[in-house]
Amino acid sequence: MAETHSLQDLQQPTASSKVFVQRDYGSGTISKFHTKFPSELEPRIDKQQFEETIQTLNNLYAEAEKLGGKSYLEGCLACITAYTIFLCMETHYEKVLKKIARYIKDQNEKIYAPRGLLLTDPIERGLRVVEITIFEERSIGSGR
Amino acid sequence: MVARQSGVLPLTLGLILITSGLFFIFDCPFLVKHLTSCIPVIGGFLFVFVVITLLQTSFTDPGILPRATPDEAEDIEKQIDNTGNTSYRPPPRTKEVVINQQVVKLKYCFTCKMFRPPRTSHCSLCDNCVERFDHHCPWVGNCVGKRNYRFFYTFIVSLSFHTAFIFGCVTTHLSLRAQGGKGLVFALQESPGSAVELVICFFSVWSILGLSGFHTYLVASNLTTNEDIKGSWSGKSGEDVTNPYSQRNIFVNCCSVLCGPMPPSLIDRRGFLPADESVQTAGADIELPDLANKSEINVCTQGTKGLLESATLPPLLSTSCPQGKPLTDPTVNFDPSPEISTSCSGARHVHHSRGRASTPRHTKTRSKKNKRAALQMANPSFDVPVSPSSPDAGPSSKARGHKGDSFSHLQ
């Protein structure tokens, strides 16, 4: 039993805390998160690394919400087909969201998990926050 | 699915179907014979377009923001300075942010436990915060917000064309029949359906055309009905305020509102899930029971019923459960069962068994609805009560009175 850890073990409230990076509405309603480094993460991760992660996320969301020729074309095509085209086609936004999910998974595996942190995809939180779970060292390995 | 109160969507659909049906039955044969066979083709195309866009407006998630998770709510509470106010409800909390050199106040939503993003408003009928909230439309039985505004706009524009087209065809039909001194009465007797169509179209074409015109103005200036009514950016208070979201170019505004990228539904991230699965990253609103905490789940079922009307549920038991038992484990959330996401969302993958919209809070909502009728108005140009689902005449006159107060500046 000591070898098998369920995710529940890792999430005992006494063994983890959460930090929330809120949305930055300074540029309007676009999806953007504050790049300010939360103090709770100081002992765990490099400030640069964290800011880079958030900045990349911001750039990816900007790409998803970009207004340009391609998105207009998609919009017009959708309108002409009475939006039924969305039944067969994935929107540009959805494609970028998949990209973001892959990026977060990648970041978690390479950078955050080794430091006992976990990034939650903002889409799972309604694009309100980037939730970072901090796991206390003592809970990992304590099979219950 | 549609909002908790589906309003008069059946009436809207019925009117469109009946009018179009009568058109195809009574007017088309005559007009095809005497004019051109293009008429039913155009009519058919417009009819299909109208119905599709109506259904899309009604069944698409308008941009509902899921409620904050308990941890988030706690985090925000910590950040807000508590002045130790002993009144039942703490003073309204606001946060200011500068967007495009305009100071925008972000309000804290007590129901959703978060600071509302700019242009987001809480719809009391749907009991959800909706992004880029335009208005709650009883005619389509849903809120009109960021995600379904383009469907709504396409619907009303195509409906204007459709109504005008039918009106024109019926007038032509009746005048052709009445030729040769036979008179209008004779024509109406020959084609009684046309009389019905004439009445319906005559009264609706003006309101729908007016509404389309109004919304075209809103689209061109990148405004929402909500902002226009409140006069948020019209500088009424004497300050120099401009709309910070407008791109100052009509064409660009239209494109960004109508043809911009389609944001995903925030409440539909996980679709169907088996009830016994426990996942670490909980979806925005569909949270699952943690089998290790069965007792908490049992405690929650009573609270669950009370939440059935909310499309997005607060995972925190203490806000919903009558017992008010707070959850210790932040990841334990109850699965209110598949019926939960009934109301208010157009989430496509949402679950079956919808009829639970009539939940305990329905009666409470009715009085709230009457009060809020003016705020959640359907269409300013429609001279109908905004809360049509109330059976009694009282609310409708009250609503009209309220409407008069709120919309006086529109007249």
Tell me what pLDDT residue A43 has: 84
| A108 domain-assigned | yes
**Is pLDDT of B409 > 50?**
no
Tell me what pLDDT residue B163 has: 94
| A58 domain-assigned | yes
Helix (H) or strand (E) holding A88: none
Residues A66/B65/B373/B209 CA torsion (nearest 10 deg): 20
Confidence of residue B384 (pLDDT cuts 50, 70, 90): very low
Q: Which chain A residues touch B261 with a CB distance below 8 Å?
A: 64-67, 71, 74-75, 91-93
Distance from CA of A94 to the nearest CA of B (A): 7
Tell me what pLDDT residue B168 has: 92
* A-chain residue closest to B51, CA distance: A82
Q: Which chain B residues touch A83 with a CB distance below 8 Å?
A: 52-53, 56, 151, 154
CB B191, CB B173: distance < 8 Å: yes
Total H helices, total E strands in chain A: 4, 3
For B82, the token pair is 């508590």
| A140 domain-assigned | no
Tell me what pLDDT residue B157 has: 94
**Is pLDDT of B277 > 70?**
no
Mapped onto helix, strand or coil, the DSSP state of residue B133 is: coil
Q: Which chain A residues touch B331 with a CB distance below 8 Å?
A: 8, 11
Nearest to B321 by CA among B311, B331, B333, B338: B333
* Residue B391 CB partners (closer than 8 Å, separation 6+): none
More confident residue, B317 or A141: A141
CB B117, CB B259: distance < 8 Å: no
**Is pLDDT of A51 > 70?**
yes
- Mean of the per-residue pLDDT values of chain B: 70
Q: Say yes or no for a CB contact (<8 Å) between B53 and A97.
A: no
Q: Say yes or no for a CB contact (<8 Å) between B151 and A83.
A: yes
In the annotation, is B112 catalytic?
Answer: no
For A12, the token pair is 């005992």
Look up tokens 């109330």; give the residue.
B390
Phi, psi for residue A23 in degrees, rounded to 5: -75, 145
ipTM exceeding 0.85, yes/no? no
Helix (H) or strand (E) holding B47: helix B38-59
CB B30, CB B191: distance < 8 Å: yes
Which of B3-12, B86-95, B325-334 comes out lowest in average pLDDT?
Answer: B325-334
Q: Which of A5, A6, A20, A98 is the mutation pick for testing B, counting most B CBs within 10 A?
A: A20
Instruction: Quick: pLDDT tens for B32-62.
Output: 888 888 899 999 999 999 999 999 999 989 9
| A141 domain-assigned | no
* Residue B253 CB partners (closer than 8 Å, separation 6+): B219, B220, B221, B222, B246, B247
Percent of chain A residues topping a pLDDT of 90:
24
Q: Which chain B residues touch A29 with a CB distance below 8 Å?
A: 117-119, 131-132, 245
Mapped onto helix, strand or coil, the DSSP state of residue B223 is: coil
Pick the catalytic residue: B137, B169, B321, B344? B137
- The amino acid sitting at B258 is L
Q: How far apart are CA B32 and CA B19, in angstroms?
A: 18
Which of B27-31, B238-242, B252-256 comes out lowest in average pLDDT?
Answer: B238-242
Tell me what pLDDT residue B236 has: 60
Number of Cβ atoms within 10 Å of the Cβ of B57: 29
Q: Say yes or no for a CB contact (<8 Å) between B114 and A94.
A: no
Domain count, chain A: 1
Q: Which chain B residues touch A23 with a CB distance below 8 Å?
A: 117
Q: How far apart are CA A129 and CA B316, in angstroms?
A: 17
More confident residue, B354 or A81: A81
Q: Say yes or no for a CB contact (<8 Å) between B278 and A7.
A: yes
Distance from CA of A9 to the nearest CA of B (A): 11
Distance from CA of B80 to the nearest CA of A (A): 14
Q: Note the helical H segments in B127-191.
A: 149-177, 184-190
Facing B328 at nearest CB: one of A13, A25, A121: A13
Q: How far apart are the first and last CA of chain A?
A: 7
Sign of CA dihedral B224, B390, B411, B164: positive
DSSP line for B373-410: TTTT-S-TT--S-S-TT--SHHHHHHHHHHHHHHTGGG
Q: How far apart are CA A21 and CA B340, in angstroms?
A: 29
Q: Which of B69, B77, B79 is the mutation pick for testing A, counting most A CBs within 10 A?
A: B69
Q: How far apart are CA B203 and CA B210, in angstroms?
A: 12
Instruction: Quick: pLDDT tens for A109-124.
Output: 999 888 888 999 998 8
| A32 domain-assigned | yes
Confidence of residue B174 (pLDDT cuts 50, 70, 90): confident
Helix (H) or strand (E) holding B70: helix B70-79
Query: For the whole prediction, is pTM greater than 0.90?
Result: no
Instruction: Quick: pLDDT tens for B99-115.
Output: 888 888 888 888 888 88
CB B68, CB B52: distance < 8 Å: no
Mapped onto helix, strand or coil, the DSSP state of residue B347 is: coil
Instruction: Looking at mean pLDDT, say which of A68-77, A85-94, B120-129, B302-311 comes out highest.
Output: B120-129
Facing A29 at nearest CB: one of B56, B114, B245: B245
For B344, the token pair is 């208010």
Q: Say yes or no for a CB contact (<8 Å) between A72 and B52.
A: no
Q: How far apart are CA B312 and CA B342, in angstroms?
A: 9
Domain span at residue A100?
Answer: 16-135
Helix (H) or strand (E) holding A118: strand A117-120
Mean pLDDT for the stretch of residues B292-318: 42
DSSP character at residue B113: T
Q: How far apart are CA B402 and CA B405, in angstroms?
A: 5
Tell me what pLDDT residue B92 has: 60
